[in-house]
Structure 1
């Protein structure tokens, strides 16, 4: 596979700056990525291998390999999902409910990642599947994947620095009284069940903002945005708030109206790792949640 490179021409105001500061600054390369690039000779200065402590000169060119490895360990498999956007740097998909994002055990198939691997195989690509974030098995909605090591680390930095916006829609049990609010309950492991999380004083800080969209008979449609990304954060927060996600077997109750938790990742906002463009993408509400909303408009839960 031929290597592709990201180039940066040194402007006058950065003449004399140390190369490593150019990489971590305007080129936005993480230190971990720099280590990998150094080992694989993936950093060039005016087309030649170089060292990180050198001073750069105005008009000279820094090149960084956007892909460190093209190894693919997943089994390509036809798994249905909708593509919301794709270019040479990123893939944004609408994950259906009922499938894992990535194999949990070695050799597991039937996941979104297996489907993406098949999609790329059909294009003649052999790329590792690098989701930038995760969605629970029974949560539907929007998810972004970096198609190169550079794109992934760029988006991962946005996620860690809270520049990657994630908005969800949920049907919460009962009537939520507040029109909007912020849930700040700390979240940690549940000592009685390693698969669950719970609100606990010694947990990690977790912040979820919510606003009311529509009050229905026995449930409330709410929009939620994440400031942090703890495992099961929205589900744990809403349950502790007294309004668990409708159909959530782990943190609330089963429902005759829907076979999974009524939670959907609806919107994603981020800066494109290649172009620097501000992007906002949305995933339409899935049929099962839309059907419950219509039903609750006409009859009680």
Structure 2
């Protein structure tokens, strides 16, 4: 694992042996795949030091070199910090994973909105003396529960956005569908677009964005006419799992918007697991999100076995 530390506003990293063939230019561009504009800003504003000096970005790095990057300078919040007790599944100086409850938006949809997970994230950082702005990397629907990833500074947000785009961040969802799904596993490849007849609903549409959902059956609950499945996504379209399972003829139980039964008070969908390799330390991050509902929707299921 790569040795790192936080020193005030600066992040320090010790260059490992396997990075010796990189220059700073290629490390930022090829290893971290950081956006050109952001790298240019760090370079021009002298926010990157090598062995406490302004570096030559074209010289190969050496094992043991001390790389410092000014990640943690104070910046204004664009959301209102708001206290609420929310479970934290993982946290370090660069990122944080929350366990989102039902009935909460991931982020504000208009200026001044409160009650969202991003408001809570802002308060959490402020209370810990971290005055950088939280940035959500992905989102969950208001009534979907589970793991949501935030970056604590712009550079980490850019890297995680790229990782998400390249499918290096793996997200697993648990779902209870109406009816018994007969096949053991499958993939739904159907484009998703807006429903012209409803302001929030989406639908499978030839003119929509490409979308791919993989699923496998965990258990068939024949007495309740439900199927427990695990889903993974190649894309992250709005309402993707809900739309695809409804298209399959097995909508989520409790999902009134997409034709699901009224068995539960919300759609039975939970982001149970989030996995990725930390961009700076090389550590494998594996977050399991405990269930939050009361009464429990996923009664008798251990999320740590998924």
Offset at 1:10?
A: 8.4
Q: Do 1:12 and 1:58's aligned partners in 2 also have CA atoms closer than 8 Å?
A: no
Q: Do 1:67 and 1:150's aligned partners in 2 also have CA atoms closer than 8 Å?
A: no
Q: Do 1:89 and 1:274's aligned partners in 2 also have CA atoms closer than 8 Å?
A: no
Q: Do 1:68 and 1:149's aligned partners in 2 also have CA atoms closer than 8 Å?
A: no
| Alpha-carbon distance in 1 for matches of 2:78, 2:155 | 19
Q: CA RMSD in A?
A: 2.6
| Alpha-carbon distance in 2 for matches of 1:244, 1:152 | 33
Deviations 1:119-171 (A, max 9, x none): 22222222211111101111000111112223222222221110100000111
1:149 is matched with which residue?
154
Offset at 1:24?
A: 1.4
2:242 is matched with which residue?
235
Deviations 1:42-87 (A, max 9, x none): 23345344575x4446466554333466322322212231111222
| Alpha-carbon distance in 2 for matches of 1:176, 1:188 | 25
1:244 aligns with 2:251: yes
- SS of equivalent residue, structure 2 residue 296: helix
| Alpha-carbon distance in 2 for matches of 1:51, 1:198 | 52
Taking structure 2 as the reference length, the TM-score comes to 0.84
Q: Do 1:258 and 1:292's aligned partners in 2 also have CA atoms closer than 8 Å?
A: no
| 1:20 pairs with one of 19, 25, 50 | 25
1:222 is matched with which residue?
229
Paired residue total: 291
Q: Do 1:72 and 1:128's aligned partners in 2 also have CA atoms closer than 8 Å?
A: yes
- SS of equivalent residue, structure 2 residue 250: coil
Q: CA separation of 1:190/1:139 partners in 2, compared to 1, >3 Å: closer, same or farther?
A: same
Q: Do 1:91 and 1:145's aligned partners in 2 also have CA atoms closer than 8 Å?
A: yes
Q: Do 2:23 and 2:61's aligned partners in 1 also have CA atoms closer than 8 Å?
A: no
| Alpha-carbon distance in 2 for matches of 1:186, 1:203 | 5
| Alpha-carbon distance in 1 for matches of 2:157, 2:192 | 26
Matches within 5 A, 1:50-199: 54-56=58-60, 58=62, 62-67=67-72, 70-199=75-204
1:5 is matched with which residue?
11
1:269 aligns with 2:251: no
Q: Which moved more, 1:137-146 or 1:86-95?
A: 86-95
- SS of equivalent residue, structure 1 residue 172: strand
| Alpha-carbon distance in 2 for matches of 1:153, 1:118 | 22
Q: Which moved more, 1:60-69 or 1:142-151?
A: 60-69
Q: Which runs of 5+ in 2 are unaligned?
A: 1-6, 301-306
Q: CA separation of 1:292/1:55 partners in 2, compared to 1, >3 Å: closer, same or farther?
A: closer
| Alpha-carbon distance in 1 for matches of 2:56, 2:193 | 43
Q: CA separation of 1:246/1:44 partners in 2, compared to 1, >3 Å: closer, same or farther?
A: same
2:266 is matched with which residue?
260
| Alpha-carbon distance in 2 for matches of 1:277, 1:156 | 18
1:280 is matched with which residue?
286
Q: CA separation of 1:161/1:12 partners in 2, compared to 1, >3 Å: closer, same or farther?
A: closer
Deviations 1:6-33 (A, max 9, x none): 4464869856x66422321234433343
